[in-house]
Structure 1
Amino acid sequence: MKVCKFGGTSVASAEQIKKVAAIVGEDTKRKIVVVSAPGKRFNDDIKVTDLLIKLAEASLSTGETEKELQAVVDRYADIAKGLGLDEHIVNIIEEDLRGRLTINRDNRDLFVDQLKASGEDNNAKLIAAYFSSIGMEAEYVNPKEAGLIVSDEPGRARALPEAYENLSNLRDRKGIVVFPGFFGYSRDGVMMTFARGGSDITGSILAAAVNAELYENFTDVDSVFAANPKVVDSPVEIKRMTYREMRELSYAGFSVFHDEALMPAFQRSVPVCIKNTNNPSAEGTMIVAEREYSKSPVIGIAADGGFSTIYVSKYLMNRELGFGRRLLQILEDEYISYEHTPSGIDDLSVIVRSHQLTPEKEARIISRCREELLVDDVYVEHHFAMVVLVGEGMHNTRGLTARATTAISRVGANIEMINQGSSEVSLVFGIQEKDTESVLKELYKEFFSTSAVLGV
């Protein structure tokens, strides 16, 4: 059995959904299909999820929603018409949306999530109806009915152990199961959404639950590339990579596959293949537990901006028991998670995602550090990027850090931080955001040019 997930661009229009049907129909092992909400059909288009957010905002602000509601219904109606479906499925979708608008809105975030999740839910209903209309045995299955039980954490829910046992029963269903991504239900029956890449997470959970032989993640690229093709011209394709390598690259900005989505597949050792809906004959990229090493120790380079650094210094900090714990407690009290903590004997830097900070939070953090930790100095700096070199072969390679730092110096960029995990699968450099593209290009040249790969 194979589980396959189709992203927003893969199900954005009737034409795309016909491609999905052809892909599913050509392999009888493709029994579970996870779908996203319709994405963009062209560059300036609006995703259905964004239309739903506008609908939720209109409902919360003025209560006048007909215009925004009709925009969502019209989008589904256009898809249904292109697929040759009658108005019945469109009426079902409109009725569902009107019902969601009557949900209690005491918790604004949950109300918005209910509407956002309708994008995936209603698209699954529409796609199941289309499959059936062309003679494919298929059924829409709701996550609540299937038993996708998740933690009570709106916007970042996690599948609970009993969910996997419940979902394993999907193996026994006849025909094709069409399952909406992005959400599950708490033990109390409240709908909860996953973090970013939520449909990827759903697909991975289902693949793990049914012990699939393969989890196919269909998107709009032929494979994962060694660097961002929008920055580097014609980067090499990655044919095989490990879960750890993909996790590191996803964390550092690879948008093809979000990092959290790998965990369920990794835990059950389900191989993952990234494939292209628009070119399904392409091999794609296989993500597995182990792979053979290539000549290049680095398999990929990624960069992501939007980081800030909290600098703290105090003489004899290293002698002060519990200093780091108390500093991190201050961040926890502000609901801020950290990414890296490079340190010296008298100073400590905490690197966080900038979106978590506000001027008010910064002021409270600085004040508490001075008053409670009695620091000599504390301040916050913004506009940092993290550039990450990834590769299972890095730990066996001498001089790799020297090559990387030399390449970065060639473009005149300053290295603010260097961090390497104990696994040595990744090497992280903190730089100024303005230098990101030039550094990425130079590092790619250093490790992926023909002479570099051949060791010349």
Structure 2
Amino acid sequence: MKVAKFGGSSVASAEKFKQVAHIVTSDKERKLVVVSAPGKRYGEDTKMTDLLIALSAKIQLGEDYVDEFGQVIDRYREIVVDLSIPETIITDIITNLQSLIDLHKNDPFRLLDCLKASGEDNNAKVMAAYLNHLGFEAHYVNPKEAGIFVSDEPGRARVLPLSYEKLPKLRERSGILVIPGFFGYSEEGNMVTFSRGGSDITGSIVAAGVKADLYENFTDVDAIYSVDPRLVEKPHEMKEVTYREMRELSYAGFSVFHDEALEPVYKLGIPVCVKNTNNPEAKGTFIVAERPHGDTPVVGIAGDKGFCNIHVSKYLLNREIGFGRRLLEILEDEGISYEHTPSGIDNISVIMREHQLTPDVEKRVFARIEKELEVDEIFIERDLAMVMVVGEGMNSTVGIAAKATEAFARAEVNLEMINQGSSEVSMMFGVKADALDRAVQALYNTYFNSMYSISYSNIK
């Protein structure tokens, strides 16, 4: 049994629906289908989710929302008409949207969450109707009916263990089951969305719940590339990547596959294949538990902006018991999560997402650190970017780090920080944000292009 998830670009129009239907029905093992809300049809188009967010904003402001409501319905109507599906489904969508508005108009957070979820929900209904129209047995399955139960945290739901008791029953049902992505239900019965990339998460939960043989994630690229294709011409395609490698790359900026989506399938060892809806014959990229390293110890290069660094110095800091804990407690009290904490004998740095440290928060944090920890020096570096070199084979290969620093030197990129985790799956480098693209390109040339190729003959 396969679970196939189709992203927004794969279900953006009637023509895309036809492609999806062909892919699903061409393989009888594709019994479970997870769909996103309609994405962009062309460059300047607006995603369905963004239309729904705009609708929610109008309602919350108490303003007339007829135009915004109409844009949402028109988008579905265009798909339905072009697919020649009975237009009664549009009446059902209108009723569904209006009922959500009436129910949650006085609760802005719940309203936004439910309207966003409706994008996937109603699209799944259209997909099931189209498959039936083609003569195949297909059923729309609401996440509550499927058994996807989550924590009641709008916009950041987490799957509950109860789900894995309910989901296996889907194996017993006949026909093609179409499930909306992006949301589940709390035990109290509320619709609750996952974080960004939530349809990937739904697909993974379903795959784990039914113990699928394969989770196929269809998008608009033939494979996952070793680097952002906007930065490098004809980048290397990854044939295989491990769960751990993909987790690191997703964290560092890869947007093809959401990092949270790996957790359910990772625990059961279910392989994931990222494929192209527009070219389903392409082999795609497999995400697996283990891969042969061979002559490719480095699998990918990724980078992301929006970081800052709080640097703290104190003489004999290494002898002061509890210093790090107390420092992090100050950040915790302000609701700040940290990313990395590289340290020396007399100093420690805390890397975090910059948006968390507003001027007021920064002032309070600095005042507490100076008073409670009696530090010698404290300062902040803003406008930082993190660049990661990722590969399971790096820990058994000589010269990986040396080649990275040589690449930065050639590209005239100054290093602000170097950090390697104990797992040795990745190396992380801190650079100024305006040097990020140059840094990524230099590393890619070093590890993947023949003109800067490394000899890996000295693998241990």
TM-score, normalising length: structure 1: 0.98
Counterpart in 1 of 2:162?
162
Instruction: Tell me the CA shift for residue 375 of structure 1.
Output: 2.0
**Correspondence for 1:150:** 150
Who is 2:223 aligned against?
Answer: 223
Q: Which position in structure 1 is the counterpart of 2:365? A: 365
Q: Which residue of 2 aligns with 1:390?
A: 390
Aligned counterpart, 2:438: 438
Write the distance in 1 (CA, Å) between the matches of 2:133 and 2:141: 17
Distance in structure 2 (CA, Å) of the matches to 1:108 and 1:190: 14
Q: Distance in 2 between matches of 1:202 and 1:150?
A: 11
Deviations 1:355-400 (A, max 9, x none): 2232222122112212222222223222111111111110001121
Query: Is the 2:104–2:110 contact (alpha carbons within 8 Å) kept by the matching residues of 1?
Result: no
Is 1:28 matched up with 2:15?
Answer: no
Identify the residue that residue 342 of structure 1 maps to in structure 2: 342
Listed one character per residue, the Cα deviations across residues 35-77 of structure 1 (whole Å, up to 9, x for unaligned) are 0010000010000000000000000012421111001011111
Task: Look up the match of 1:235.
Answer: 235
Q: Structure 2: how far apart are the matches of 1:137 and 1:187?
A: 30
Matched residue type, 1:234: K
Tell me, in whole angstroms, the C-alpha distance in 2 between the residues paired with 1:293 and 1:317. Answer: 40
Q: Which amino acid aligns with 1:60?
A: Q
- State the Cα distance separating 1:285 from its structure 2 match: 0.3
Distance in 2 between the 1:334 and 1:172 partners? 49
User: Taking every aligned residue pair, what percent have the same amino acid on both sides?
Assistant: 57
1:46 is matched with which residue?
46
Q: Please say if residues 149 and 186 of structure 1, whose CA atoms lie closer than 8 Å, have aligned partners that are also in contact.
A: yes
- The normalised TM-score by structure 2 is 0.97
Shift of 1:345: 1.6
SS in 2 for 1:174: coil
Alpha-carbon distance in structure 2 between the residues aligned to 1:141 and 1:364: 49
Residues 185-210 of structure 1, C-alpha deviations (whole Å, 9 max, x = no match)? 11211222111110000000000010
Instruction: After TM superposition, list the pairs within 5 Å mapping 1:64-103 onto structure 2.
Output: 64-103=64-103
2-structure distance, mates of 1:280, 1:340:
39
Q: For 1:121 and 1:336, how far apart are their aligned partners in 2?
A: 34
Q: Is 11-20 or 59-68 further displaced after alignment?
A: 59-68
Amino acid at match of 2:7: G
- 1:376 matched to which residue of 2? 376
Give the letter aligned to residue 347 of structure 1: N
Separation in structure 2 between the aligned mates of residue 251 and residue 99 of structure 1, nearest angstrom: 37
> Which secondary structure does the structure 1 equivalent of 2:419 belong to?
strand
State how far apart, in whole Å, the 2-side matches of 1:97 and 1:335 are: 35
Alpha-carbon distance in 2 for matches of 1:194, 1:319? 43
Describe the SS at the equivalent of 2:431: strand
For 1:125-140, what aligned pairs fall within 5 Å after superposition? 125-140=125-140
Q: Confirm whether residue 207 of structure 1 aligns to residue 201 of structure 2.
A: no
**Contact (CA 8 Å) 1:238, 1:299: kept in 2 or not?**
yes
Residue-by-residue CA offset, 1:394-430 (whole Å, 9 max, x unaligned)? 0001121111011111111111111111111111101
User: Does residue 174 of structure 1 match 2:174?
Assistant: yes
Cα distance in 2 for residues equivalent to 1:356 and 1:179: 35
1:333 corresponds to 2:339: no
Whole-Å separation in 2 of the counterparts to 1:110 and 1:375: 44
Q: Secondary structure at the match of 1:381?
A: strand
Cα separation, 2, equivalents of 1:376 and 1:80: 67
Task: Give the match for residue 418 of structure 2.
Answer: 418
1:261 match:
261
Equivalence for 1:281: 281
Please give the secondary structure, in 1, of the residue aligned with 2:269: coil
SS at match of 2:70: helix
Report the secondary structure of 1:32's partner residue.
strand
Contact 1:56 1:115 in 2 (8 A): yes
Whole-Å separation in 2 of the counterparts to 1:187 and 1:29: 31
Equivalent in the alignment of 2:61: 61
- Three-state SS of the structure 2 residue aligned to 1:403 is helix
Deviations, residues 71-92 of structure 1 (Å, cap 9, x unaligned): 1011111111111112211111
Deviations 1:164-191 (A, max 9, x none): 1111111111001100111111121122
Task: Report the residue type matching 1:244 in the other structure.
Answer: R
Moved more, 362-371 or 123-132: 362-371
In 2, Cα distance between the equivalents of 1:105 and 1:408? 53
- Unmatched segments (≥5 aa) in structure 1: none
Q: How many residues are matched?
A: 456
Q: What's the Cα RMSD here? A: 1.3
Deviation at 1:335, TM superposition (A): 1.7
- Per the TM alignment, residue 455 of structure 1 is displaced from its structure 2 partner at its CA by 5.1
| Long gaps (5+) in structure 2 | none
Secondary structure of the structure 1 residue equivalent to 2:318: helix
Tell me the secondary structure at the aligned position of residue 101 of structure 1: helix
Q: Is the 8 A contact 1:362 1:380 kept in 2?
A: no
Partner of 2:3: 3
* SS of match in other structure, 2:102: coil
Q: Do the aligned partners of 1:249 and 1:388 also contact (CA within 8 Å) in 2?
A: yes
Amino acid at match of 1:205: I
Distance in 1 (alpha carbons) for counterparts of 2:279 and 2:88: 32
Match of 2:191 in 1: 191
What SS is found at the alignment partner of 2:429?
strand
Moved more, 107-116 or 269-278: 107-116
SS in 2 for 1:102: helix
Counterpart amino acid of residue 19 in structure 1: Q
Counterpart AA for 2:91: N
Displacement after TM superposition at 1:344 (Å): 1.2
Q: Which stretch shows the higher mean deviation, 215-224 or 326-335?
A: 326-335
Looking at structure 2, the residues matched to 411 and 155 of structure 1 have their Cα atoms a distance apart, in angstroms, of 40
Distance 2:70 2:454 in 1: 55
Contact 1:310 1:379 in 2 (8 A): yes
In structure 2, do the counterparts of structure 1 residues 312 and 105 end up closer, same or farther at CA, with 3 Å as the change threshold? farther
Q: Distance in 2 between matches of 1:346 and 1:246?
A: 34
